[in-house]
Structure 1
Amino acid sequence: MREVIVRTISGVLYISIIIFSMFTSRAWFMGLFFVLAAITLSEFLKLVHLTSYVAYFLLAAAFYFLSYRVFEENSIYLLLILSSFVNLFLLKDLLWTSKIPMFEKKKYITVIFYIISGFVFLTLIPMKYIDTRISNEENFAPRLIVSVFILIWSNDTFAYLVGKNFGKHKLLERISPKKTIEGFFGGLLGALLAGFVIFKFIEKYDPTNMDRHPLWVWLCLAVIVAIFGTIGDLIQSKFKRQAGVKDSGVIMPGHGGIYDRLDSIIYASPFVYAFLLIVDNVS
């Protein structure tokens, strides 16, 4: 019982800090997520047994030049393509190899195009346009990134509840014995319901925003988050299994490390960003 209470308090505090930073200002948002990115990077480097101060320099440079102040629009598109390829290779290694080769030979590839780029695109999601002529605050749409996190949290919560109570068929037992096919579809349903609620909420309280995000966009985002978020969780589980640890860190009582909490959104963020980019260009 005590563990449940600690886990709940820790989770509520974490969610409150995240939402507070998003709605305060873009500077607060960027500052908090830079700290979270640095902690996540530290936890990841320990998992892959890599000691590198260069990685933190690359993180700071990427945050400043590719997220806070985009120095070149095409650099974002190039990073998006490379990150998507690396993430898909991680998926391939998850499904068809006993060990992730990048874990052993190409650690900087995962550091740059999986961890660092994941946070770059996470912080780019709430930016309406990649345009340095528009002020950061004017260009910042906190409701969008909050909604993406709600989709992630809904997917995780429903996947846990459905999997725990109705799960019988293992999803990928050799990597994560507790994950079930029933839990995955429960999480997908939860994300879809959250997407519908988000749409109705915004439609009621801010109708002008619906020109940019109709219902089908929210439902597609829910599907993307559910699929790629689950893959991200499994990939992190495989990294931990190869490292021989249960959690990536101990900073959050009852939850583990920051990487444990953000593994889904880190992996999913390039695909979420790519989808929103396509939607904006088509519309």
Structure 2
Amino acid sequence: MKIYKMSPLLTRSLSGIVYVTIFLSAVLFSKFTFIALVSIFAICCIFEFHKLILFKNVMPYIVFIGLTFFLVRNPTSKIIIPILALTLLASLQLIYRLYSKTKLQSSRLAEKLDISIRYIVFSFCLLILLPYQNGEYESLILISILILIWVNDSFAFLVGKNFGKNKLFQSVSPKKTIEGFIGGVLFSIIASVIIAYKTELYSVLDWVIIALITSIIGSIGDLVESNFKRHAAVKDSGNIMPGHGGLLDRLDSLIFAIPFLYLYIHYII
């Protein structure tokens, strides 16, 4: 009796469909299912990130749970400002580390704790607060941003695979190309214009800027996570998603872009 195995592409596609279905369903059903799912994602990503940097500590989990509980009850608290500032600073530090080719020192536990909280924990807390508009949960904000991320990822892959010749950042991610990056950005902009007319949440210009933040900063976030994996000498952050790797592999772009999106949507628009 023959046993047929699914092709890698089919496995990846089915896994992606399940992931997208669960994510969108949680976002659309209610703010409580959204918060619950993002909290599960956050805990998994903290665990996966700790494996990458060889760090074992319960403090990031405690900080996330306590801070999430507080922020959900106080979504307009002034504590958000220092959290946002510290998260943006962490992003800039990680970009510097990416280009300077430096890595976390294995002996510096305080440094690992610090980057775990500011890079992962704070970003997920901001993600939970992102869809709130004037104190009300607005699922269309996050749905639109997820669409932009998926459009960017899909067309960056398609354009890069068919037309890519020049490497974007070969030492960290050999498969990514400049052509793919540009293709992802351009199609994200097109998608943002469509979203602007369909949702009427923000102006066309605002959505284009959101698309630029999502695609450009998100792509940098993907490189940042790839840099951690390179130093850890692993292909994926985990194996929870067949064909994709870990949740951190799927959410790296969103995690990195969130503080910049939160800054623009809640303080600039």
Q: TM-score, normalised by structure 2?
A: 0.94
The answer to whether the 8 Å contact 2:75/2:129 transfers is no
Whole-angstrom distance in 2 between the partners of 1:159 and 1:190: 9
Give a deviation string over 1:50-103, Cα, whole Å, max 9, x none.
11122211111121113x12276221011101110111011011012x222367
- Equivalent residue number for residue 136 of structure 1: none
Structure 1: tracts of 5 or more residues without a match: 132-138, 203-209
- Equivalent residue number for residue 79 of structure 1: 83
Does 1:141 find its partner at 2:138? yes
- Count the aligned residue pairs: 262
Q: 2:99 is matched with which residue: 92, 95, 99?
A: 95
The answer to whether the 8 Å contact 1:90/1:100 transfers is no
Q: 1:238 is matched with which residue: 210, 227, 230?
A: 227
Superposed, 1:184-203 pairs within 5 Å as 184-202=181-199
The percent identity for this pair of structures is 39
Superposed, 1:172-251 pairs within 5 Å as 172-202=169-199, 210=200, 212-251=201-240
- Equivalent residue number for residue 205 of structure 1: none
Superposed, 1:62-73 pairs within 5 Å as 62-66=67-71, 68-70=72-74, 73=77
Whole-angstrom distance in 2 between the partners of 1:180 and 1:38: 32
- Equivalent residue number for residue 31 of structure 1: 36
Question: What CA RMSD, in Å, does the superposition of the two structures yield over aligned residues?
Answer: 1.4
Superposed, 1:103-122 pairs within 5 Å as 105=108, 106-122=111-127
Whole-angstrom distance in 2 between the partners of 1:189 and 1:236: 23
Give a deviation string over 1:128-168, Cα, whole Å, max 9, x none.
13x5xxxxxxx100010010111111111111111111111
The answer to whether the 8 Å contact 2:130/2:262 transfers is yes
- Equivalent residue number for residue 206 of structure 1: none
Q: 1:6 is matched with which residue: 5, 8, 11?
A: 11
Q: 1:163 is matched with which residue: 154, 160, 163?
A: 160
Whole-angstrom distance in 2 between the partners of 1:125 and 1:24: 17
Q: TM-score, normalised by structure 1?
A: 0.89
The answer to whether the 8 Å contact 1:247/1:257 transfers is yes
SS at match of 1:171: strand
